[in-house]
Structure 1
Amino acid sequence: MQATPEGGRKGRRTVALIAGAAVLGVVAGTCAGYLVQADREPTALPPLSQPSLAQAKGAGPEPLSAAQDRKVKVDGDLRKLLLKKPGGARKGLVEEGEDGWMDLGEYAETYKSPAGAFRNLAADNEFRRAAVTDWREGSTYSVEIRLVQFRQEEKGAEAADEASDGYYYAQPSDDYDTESWPIPGTGDGMAYVHPKPDTSYGVSLYSAEAHAWRGDIEMQVWIYDTKPIPKAKVLDLAKRQMEQL
């Protein structure tokens, strides 16, 4: 269900075309403004002497607190933005990363082609860091949540591109079984439930996932169980996690 490293490049051309169209739109609007102004009669300039303006009293608006300033929040300890494990939850069956962090190599290993993913994440996608949490409830229900942060210094859309890949691979065009819903409050964030279980491990393993992004951070939610996963489960987790960002 996870994207191949090549998939990480999908959407870049579309983003570039949209950005180009926006720039052309601004230029066209500016040119039209000059043409309109050229046809108008010149207006007299106001006198140079103007009444002095009273200086506003006070020290000005208070700076944002660390809690209100999103830049401060997302540049801090990314692990603190992950959802807390529910009471009574146990460690996941397969713990990712170390002490809540995944380095580039560990994150690349989550792709179907780790070597290609490593190259793309290091170069094109400007991978910065990834925080992860996972837990298990009962004997079979397990959750993993990743927050992946990008530098976005060159192209500026890596988190959005990665989320877009998540949407594409979560529900390919020839997959008519997977159900999907928008995640409230996220713009284009999507949640997916796969009703057909994976039986390649000797058991029927059902799965659900969610992908969204905000700023330079992409969110991934993965849920697995041996029985069908309700829509409400994945939507609730995804919505609450995005509210942390």
Structure 2
Amino acid sequence: MEPNDTVSPTSRPRGRTALIIAAAALLGISGGTAVGYGIQSQRPPTPLPALSQPGLAYPAKPLAADKAPAPLPASEDRRVRTDGDLRKLLLERPKGAEASPDYPREGGEWMPYAEYARYFKDGEGMFRYFTESGLRRVAATEWVQKDRYTRLALIQFRPGLDSYAPDHLANQLSYMPEAEEGAGNAGDPIEGTGRGRYYLYPVEREAGYLPLYRARALAVRGDIMIDIGISDVKPISKKDIRVLAERQLERL
């Protein structure tokens, strides 16, 4: 409407008319509903269909011993393997490598929750997270080859569909692309895993010290998350961390 236009003389306020129409519509709906219920109440009840039960999906009697499937051998039953001594599933120390002072035992050691939580910036918060999310145990090992330190940790959570292992992996992957907290890059996928990735960190240089190179790999297999780290004063290749992760996944 232009500024100089006038309202048509047939126009009128609609408030009262709209209220009357809305009341009439509501009355019509209520009346129709009441009439419908009245008609339905006078009709004879419709008989329900006869109840029927299909044949049972499982056999009525146990299968004979010669027809029952044999149980999986321990080598193929992942649950049997991961419910045993988790330290035995860690990769063995390479020939020529020395045990680190923190993990002198051959074959790995049990890591307390609090110690694993200290690997994170908010150690106290992570400790609470682990105790509330069903963390069962952590097995770890570390070895030294000249100036290269290699650490492997298997973090096992409560088994089942609600296991927190995938959530813990997702939390770790979420900050790895950040420059301050993580590696500062998107990393590379680990073949054969859903979301597993490995990363190379930018070199850290400080006056008076040798350069520091780091790498990390993260993946989940069942209710276990693997966390692998390498540090060295010399460059670390992508192949070094990738092959280590693939070998550890094969053990699981």
Shared fold per TM-score greater than 0.5: yes
With 180-189 and 226-235 compared, the bigger mean Cα shift is at 180-189
Partner of 1:75: 83
| Residue identity matched to 1:163 | L
With 170-179 and 109-118 compared, the bigger mean Cα shift is at 170-179
| Residue identity matched to 2:89 | L
Partner of 1:9: none
Task: Say which of 86, 89, 92 aligns to 1:84.
Answer: 92
Using CA pairs under 8 Å that are at least 6 residues apart, name the structure with larger relative contact order, 1 or 2. 1
For residues 127 and 207 of structure 2, the distance between their equivalents in structure 1, rounded to whole angstroms, comes to 27
Matches within 5 A, 1:2-151: 58-92=66-100, 94-95=102-103, 100-123=109-132, 125-138=133-146, 140-151=147-158
| Residue identity matched to 1:168 | S
8 Å contact kept, 1:133–1:145: yes
Specify the SS of the correspondent of 1:195: coil
Specify the SS of the correspondent of 2:87: helix
Partner of 1:15: none
| Residue identity matched to 1:110 | Y
For residues 65 and 88 of structure 2, the distance between their equivalents in structure 1, rounded to whole angstroms, comes to 39
**What 5-or-longer segments of structure 1 have no aligned partner?**
1-44, 49-54
8 Å contact kept, 2:183–2:202: no
Partner of 1:205: 212
For residues 74 and 83 of structure 2, the distance between their equivalents in structure 1, rounded to whole angstroms, comes to 11
For residues 88 and 187 of structure 2, the distance between their equivalents in structure 1, rounded to whole angstroms, comes to 28
For the pair 1:190 / 2:190, whether they are aligned, the reply is: no
For residues 105 and 148 of structure 1, the distance between their equivalents in structure 2, rounded to whole angstroms, comes to 13
Offset, 1:196:
2.5
Structure 1 runs of 4+ off > 6 angstroms? 173-176
- Aligned in 2, Cα 1:243/1:57: closer, same or farther, shift over 3 Å? closer
Deviations 1:192-230 (A, max 9, x none): 011332549933111000000011100000000011110
- Aligned in 2, Cα 1:74/1:128: closer, same or farther, shift over 3 Å? same
Specify the SS of the correspondent of 1:211: strand
For residues 186 and 113 of structure 2, the distance between their equivalents in structure 1, rounded to whole angstroms, comes to 31
Deviations 1:127-147 (A, max 9, x none): 110000110112x11100000
Partner of 1:40: none
| Residue identity matched to 1:73 | R
Specify the SS of the correspondent of 2:187: strand
- Aligned in 2, Cα 1:199/1:94: closer, same or farther, shift over 3 Å? farther
**What 5-or-longer segments of structure 2 have no aligned partner?**
1-51, 56-62
Offset, 1:97:
9.8
8 Å contact kept, 2:152–2:229: yes
Partner of 1:161: 167
For the pair 1:171 / 2:177, whether they are aligned, the reply is: yes
Offset, 1:80:
0.6
Structure possessing the higher radius of gyration over alpha carbons: 2
